[in-house]
Amino acid sequence: MTDDTPITVQVDNGIATVTLNRGKTLNAFTAEMNAAFADTFPRLRDDATLQAVILTATPGTFSAGGDKAQLATADPDPRAHALAGRRMHDWFQAYLDIPVPVIAAVDGPAFGGGFALVLGADIALASPGARFCTVFPRIGLVAGLGTSWLLPRVVGLARARDLLLTGRIFDAAEAERLGLVLSLHDPDDLRPRAIEMAGHFRHASRDALAGTKRLLRDAQGMTYERAVDHEIDLQARAMSGAAHHAAARSLLETRKVAFDWNRLDAECGTRKEA
């Protein structure tokens, strides 16, 4: 890949690092960037060798969302806009359907569509310099790219109304308070922490992680009773799997289980100090 490639993907031992690589344009959703999303996310969704995905960007950036030049091009035909919107939602759906944990590492503005990318991640980390904005009301648009569905589920309905109706810009500290971001890290530590966390998932059952993501997504539109039935079905499959049997034997024999997040974090800390 050349340095001008809109998106680069590096896979190392089951961890895919996806880097938005057009920092000069703040990784705006140009036609070329949209095409790169449409190529990248379905491939990641279908790659059965992956255990986790990191979504990041060149230092000091994330994504400013819609391309200003494209947005400024007037087209009175709503059908054309609907077709373009459907194409974007197709690749965004593929992003949401990636079955392994997705960790977003945000070191700059996450506006509009870039904000939606953060919402679609399972875990978001940010540097103190990151900024967030839904943008849509600022440019005469309704919420787009799934944000009307995703944002209330992340921050609650009242705060979603605030962010979607005002379009105000807010900083990383507020994003952490809202629960949009899990934790803040110095820019130099942001990507290493994302890589460290992604590496922990190598020790987990891929099927169990995928099942948990599916449960969390599907339960939003279900009654409690239907959600429990869904949970029982997926749990029965997990309990018949080799990963569960191995972990259960380890517990029975008072040995360490492979996927112990606290221990894995502590071991990473020990290696840093050595």
Q: What is the pLDDT of residues 8-43, one digit of tens each?
A: 999 999 999 999 999 999 999 999 999 999 999 999
- How far apart, in Å, do the first and last CA atoms of the chain sit? 35
Whether the Cβ atoms of residue 187 and residue 129 lie closer than 8 Å to each other: yes
| pLDDT tens track for 238-270 | 888 888 888 878 877 877 888 998 999 998 875
Bin 160: left if φ > 0, else alpha if -120 < ψ < 50, else beta: alpha
Closest CA to 204 of 260, 256, 271, 266: 260
Residues 6+ positions from 96 with CB-CB distance below 8 Å: 120, 146, 217
Q: Is the pLDDT of residue 1 over 50?
A: no
Tell me the pairing of strands 109-111 and 102-106: unpaired
Q: Is the pLDDT of residue 237 over 70?
A: yes
| pLDDT tens track for 75-134 | 677 777 777 778 889 999 999 999 999 999 999 999 999 999 999 999 999 999 999 999
Query: Could you give the percent of the chain with pLDDT greater than 70?
Result: 94
What average pLDDT does this structure show over 203-220? 92
DSSP 17-51: EEEE--GGGTT-B-HHHHHHHHHHHHHHHH-TT-S
In whole angstroms, what separates CA 91 from the centre of its chain? 13
Closest CA to 200 of 139, 148, 261, 151: 261
Mean pLDDT of the residues in the chain: 91
Give the Cα separation of 156 and 128 in Å (integer): 23
Give the Cα separation of 178 and 9 in Å (integer): 30
| pLDDT of amino acid 272 | 62
Give the Cα separation of 92 and 147 in Å (integer): 11
| pLDDT of amino acid 72 | 58
> pTM of this prediction?
0.91
CB atoms within 10 A of CB 206: 19
pLDDT band at 178 (very low <50, low <70, confident <90, very high): very high
Q: Delineate the domains of the chain, giving CATH numbers in brackets.
A: 7-201 (3.90.226.10), 205-258 (1.10.12)
